[in-house]
C-alpha cells in the first residue's frame, strides 16, 4: 500500500541533544512537508521541499533542519537550539505544489524532551 511512514511513533530526548525524525513516502510525490501540532494551535509549517535537493523554511523553522537527498525521504532534525521541542510532528506529501490535490499525512511522531 502507498503511503507515508513516520518513525518512531514516540521519541524521548534529553535536553541538549539533537534528534532526527524519519519520514518516508512511496507515493512518488514531489513535495514533502513537516508540520508541528500543538494543542489549540493547529498545524504549523516547519519546512517544506518541492523537489529533491531543495527545501524552504516555513513559519517556525528556527531550531530545526531538514535534508532532501532522495525523493522518498525528508528527515527532520530537531536541534538543541529549539526552545520548546516537545510536540507532535506530522509529515505530509503532495504530488506537486501547484497541483489541485490534498495533502497526505503520516501517523506522526510524538517527541518528548525529558
Chain contacts with another protein (rule: CB under 8 A): 33, 35, 40-45, 48, 58, 90, 92, 97-98, 100, 102-103, 105-108
Min CB(80)–another protein separation in Å: 27
How many C-beta atoms surround the C-beta of residue 107 within 10 A? 12
How many C-beta atoms surround the C-beta of residue 4 within 10 A? 22
Strands 87-94 and 104-105: antiparallel
Judged by CB, which is closer to another protein: 3, or 81?
Answer: 3
Min CB(20)–another protein separation in Å: 20
Judged by CB, which is closer to another protein: 50, or 73?
Answer: 50
Min CB(102)–another protein separation in Å: 5
Judged by CB, which is closer to another protein: 71, or 110?
Answer: 110
The one-character DSSP state at 101 is -
Instruction: Give the residue among 90, 75, 78, 108 at the shortest CA–CA distance from 9.
Output: 108
Amino acid at each position: 500500500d502507498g503511503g507515508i511512514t513516520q518513525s518512531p511513533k514516540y521519541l524521548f530526548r534529553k535536553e541538549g541533544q539533537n534528534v532526527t525524525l524519519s519520514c518516508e513516502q512511496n507515493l512518488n510525490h514531489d513535495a514533502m512537508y513537516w508540520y508541528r501540532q500543538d494543542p489549540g494551535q493547529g498545524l504549523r509549517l516547519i519546512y517544506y521541499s518541492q523537489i529533491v535537493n531543495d527545501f524552504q523554511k516555513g513559519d517556525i523553522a528556527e531550531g530545526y533542519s531538514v535534508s532532501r537527498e532522495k525523493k522518498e525521504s525528508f528527515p527532520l532534525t530537531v536541534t538543541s537550539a529549539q526552545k520548546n521541542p516537545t510536540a507532535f510532528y506530522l509529515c505530509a506529501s503532495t504530488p506537486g505544489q501547484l497541483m489541485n490535490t490534498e495533502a497526505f499525512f503520516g501517523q506522526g511522531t510524538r517527541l518528548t524532551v525529558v
